[in-house]
Amino acid sequence: MERAEVYPNHGRRRGIVAAAVFAIVALVGGALVIRAIGAERAARPAAGATVREIADDPARYYGQRVTVSGAVDTLIGPRAFTIGGRRFLGGQDLLIVGRDPLPTVAERPGTPGPAPADVVQVTGTVRQFGLAAFERELGADLDDAELANRAGQPAILATDVRLTPRADTAAGVPPLTGVTVAAVANAPRQFVGQELTLRGEVDAVIGRQAFTIGDGDFVGDDRLLILSNTPLPVISGRPPDNPLLRDDLVRVTGTLRLFDPAAAERELGVDLDEASLRDWIGQPAIIARGLSLTPRPTTPGVYGLPVSTADLTADPAAFRGETVVVSGEITRLLGQGAFVLNDQVLVTYIEAPVPDRTPQVGQYVLVTGPFSQFDLATFEREIGRDLPDARFSPFSGKPAVGAATIRPAR
């Protein structure tokens, strides 16, 4: 009978081998899992990145895939544009270069691509811009003249660009005019998401990106928050970093939102002073894409909305019924009670002659009164007499001011 040999360490060796194999498999598997998690994280856009954060500290974001939102600033050819620049009182911009041609707006005439003030959401990788390197990677020519001076600056090489056109060019829908601050403040949900054009007086300046306006009614307390994504015009004699004063008159075009600081920052591409704006959370606010500013009246006893004759002729419906202050040269007399200002606006008056003398051609005057579009029959009823039709009929439907005061402007 053969004697069986016994190897007392055989079982233990097999166990060690099995454990080693298991450890190797676990290590390989773990590495694959870690690699997969890393790939997933790399593919996921970085949360919380804003245009300003990337522009201020680009090295922190180089190589990261991010998603940012903002308003288009400048279009640079069919594949590139900037966002976040030329904001309210300045700001840094960020270059966006699309791997594919940019989205278009079918209803937009001319160039159908992105336009200033369109809102975009961009996903892509933050890179240090180099013109030649980007052209090689894209296999396409970029605008050398516009982009050559951006070498070394941060840029997003975008794989996804989602475009929301500004309301005035989307399907040809114009902004809603003739709405008052009080109407919007009292029933904001009726106007949320709509493009509006409003006029009002500056009530308070809140930081560098925001201010409030009212109707100028001392009885009411209706106010709207305005957040601007365009620079304010510079007023002569005022510092560029402080162009607004209380009682300045503004005309604002933009979209009404219920104020949410994070959403507003994404749409504007700027950081807001949230502490100063805390009381406005949930309140109506205009994200403005267009602003015109008229300094508060400085002539004693003159009250009204200061405008130019060009403003009145360009958009007469927007000023109908408003008391306006307009100045210019008398270029034509139409007999007793009427003259033409700057060859553009008819001025009618009954008991408001220029002090000490009647109006004369070539005289510069400051006129205050309600604005309308001229109707001969209505004017004849007001003055109680007939006028020469041949002289006044050409002004039918044209801009007209019924003067309450006429003062020398020079």
DSSP string, 346-375: EEE-SS-PPTTS---TT-EEEEEEEEEE--
Per-residue pLDDT at 87:
38
Query: pTM of this prediction?
Result: 0.40
Give yes or no for a contact between 337 and 350, defined as CB atoms under 8 angstroms apart: yes
Per-residue pLDDT at 43:
41
CA angle 147, 153, 155 (to 5 degrees): 80
Q: Which amino acid is at 245?
A: L
CA quadruple 295, 296, 300, 301: dihedral sign: positive
Give yes or no for a contact between 248 and 211, defined as CB atoms under 8 angstroms apart: no
Looking at residue 222, the DSSP 8-state letter turns out to be -
Go through 145-181 and write b for each residue having 16 or more CB atoms within 10 A of its CB, e for each that does not. eebeebeebbbbbbeebebebbbbbeeeeebbbebeb
Per-residue pLDDT at 179:
75
Q: Which residues, other chains included, contact 83 with Cβ-Cβ below 8 Å and sequence gap of 6+?
A: 51, 68, 70, 71, 72, 73, 93, 94, 96, 120, 122, 269
pLDDT tens string, the chain, 410 residues long: the values are: 444 343 344 454 555 555 554 455 444 455 444 444 444 344 444 444 778 788 888 999 999 999 887 777 788 888 999 887 543 333 578 999 999 988 877 656 555 677 776 778 889 999 999 999 999 999 999 988 889 889 999 999 999 988 776 544 444 455 666 678 888 888 888 788 888 888 888 888 887 678 999 876 544 568 899 998 766 666 656 666 667 777 777 888 888 888 988 888 888 877 888 888 888 998 999 988 777 776 665 554 455 667 888 888 888 877 777 778 888 889 998 876 789 999 999 998 765 444 445 778 888 888 888 888 888 887 777 666 677 778 888 888 889 988 877 887 75
Q: Give the helix ranges, DSSP H, for 106-174.
A: 131-138, 144-147
> For residue 254, what are its two tokens?
């933009």
